[in-house]
Structure 1
């Protein structure tokens, strides 16, 4: 009886989550000229036309390439820095390792909005504003604390015998990091990369604050502009562009979902 009740509740929750997604798909297929309000069933199949309008009007294709560049570059940099910091805190004889852990992890506690004003002023003063390398830099910086949290938790579970055996063989810290701890922590590295890739891809806050040019702005900022400046195009065009922009993240999650589950298990 309890199992049946649980299944009913899960099915009801799944339906509640799927209804908005279903409405997005249905209305994205609607021709703008025929749209007079939310549709519950397909009345036309103008999805491809809506996508073409969005790509031509708001440069969604360029924005998706920008987001891919930022997400990949920032995640790689953040994972590398976080792996080095985790190795130093967990493996190397660093004094006050707990203090270093909290100093880095505190970056996940502060709301990102507190950084906007100093970041904008600093970027404007150093010519980083509205540049691709400036966007990669900020996305990598805000991604380090959480990546450090995931990788550090995994490294604490690594057998100490590996380090002791490597030290007996005369391995230095760099050799131990590259040849032992990185391969052992591969699952955590992939999980941290995926988390940061998705977080950067879905970011809107820094995208609309630190970029304006079509060749720099990420995809979420382009969608926001499509919804504002080009609102006369109609909701179907915006919804179709939103679906296309969501495809990479959905495909990535479905392909590597076991790494997300493993990452959640790393949390204490």
Structure 2
């Protein structure tokens, strides 16, 4: 009985996820001029290529797509590297009060992002970082690093301290221990942390609309919101086609690296 209820619950969750996806795809197929104003449950045409072309080229999703890809890959990788170094310092290095440093870094995930927007906007305006790619990349790294630090630190605490002690007896420096021992042993956890941060940066809207306005700087979620207002007269099919474009990278990352992600989550949750 319990297993049947669990299966029914899982099937319901799957349906709740698949129904909006089905409606998105079906209505993205509809010609923009033939949209009636109500969602279609069955395809009424095959204008997906035209809608994708309008969203990618004429509405500028393509440029923002490539910019967001840059932000997600570079900022996600840098955030994971910084988090791994911070976790190594807190767990392995003989720093005073490691618990204090852990909570100081982890506190970056505890406060709502909205409370930082006003001072961050003023700081960026004064420092000429507003509406620049460098400015967005800096804030994305700072925003993503605390949670990555939490994940990596959890895995690093499970590693036997005898490994570090043996390496130190052989004369290895802390830098060598980090790069030659800890990084290879934590490769799955680092990969899982990168996937989390890639998705977080890719899906960001709040920082994108607050700290940028130019099409060549705006991330893709901000461009999708602009598409919603600029092409509202064309009907939802063009906007839904843009949403399809935006959803592809995170879906591909999880599908291609699902094995690495599952191994990393398992290692972190031990």
Question: TM-score scaled by structure 2?
Answer: 0.96
Give yes or no for contact 1:74–1:139 (8 Å, CA) kept in 2: yes
What displacement does 1:39 show? 0.1
Structure 2 match to 1:256: 257
Q: Which residue of 1 aligns with 2:74?
A: 73
SS in 2 for 1:143: helix
* Structure 1: unaligned runs, 5 residues or longer: none
Query: Are 1:20 and 2:24 counterparts?
Result: no
Q: Is the 8 A contact 1:90 1:152 kept in 2?
A: yes
Moved more, 248-257 or 2-11: 2-11
1 CA distance for matches of 2:150 and 2:9?
A: 33
Q: What CA distance in whole angstroms lies between the structure 2 residues aligned with 1:166 and 1:38?
A: 63
Please tell me whether the aligned partners of residues 150 and 263 of structure 1 are also in contact (alpha carbons under 8 angstroms). Answer: no
Measured in 2, the distance between the counterparts of 1:172 and 1:46 equals 61
Q: Which residue does the alignment assign to 2:2?
A: 2
Q: Does 2:34 match 1:31?
A: no
Structure 2 CA distance for aligned equivalents of residues 56 and 180 of structure 1:
47
SS in 2 for 1:171: coil
Matches within 5 A, 1:205-244: 205-244=206-245
State how many pairs are aligned.
Answer: 268
Whole-Å separation in 2 of the counterparts to 1:165 and 1:156: 17
Alignment of 1:88-127 (within 5 A): 88-127=89-128
CA distance in 2, matches of 1:229, 1:159: 57
Counterpart of 2:166 in structure 1 is 165
After superposition, the C-alpha distances for 1:64-115 in whole angstroms (9 at most, x for unaligned) are 0110111111111111111111000000111100110000000001011111
Q: Which of 41-50 and 224-233 deviates more?
A: 224-233
Secondary structure at the aligned position of 2:62 is classed as helix
Q: Residue 189 of structure 2 contacts residue 265 of structure 2 at CA under 8 Å; is this kept in 1? A: no
Kindly report which structure 2 residues correspond to 1:133-152, keeping only aligned pairs within 5 A, or say none: 133-152=134-153
- Please tell me whether the aligned partners of residues 231 and 239 of structure 2 are also in contact (alpha carbons under 8 angstroms): no
Give, in whole Å, the separation in 1 of the partners of 2:13 and 2:200: 24
Q: Please state how far the C-alpha of 1:224 moved relative to its aligned partner.
A: 0.2
CA distance, structure 2, for counterparts of residue 136 and residue 146 of structure 1: 17
Distance 1:264 1:188 in 2: 7
- 1:267 Cα deviation after fit: 4.0
Mapped partners of 2:264, 2:208: distance in 1: 27
Corresponding residue number in structure 1 for 2:132 = 131
In the TM superposition, residue 230 of structure 1 has moved relative to its aligned partner by 2.5
Structure 2 gap ranges (5+): none
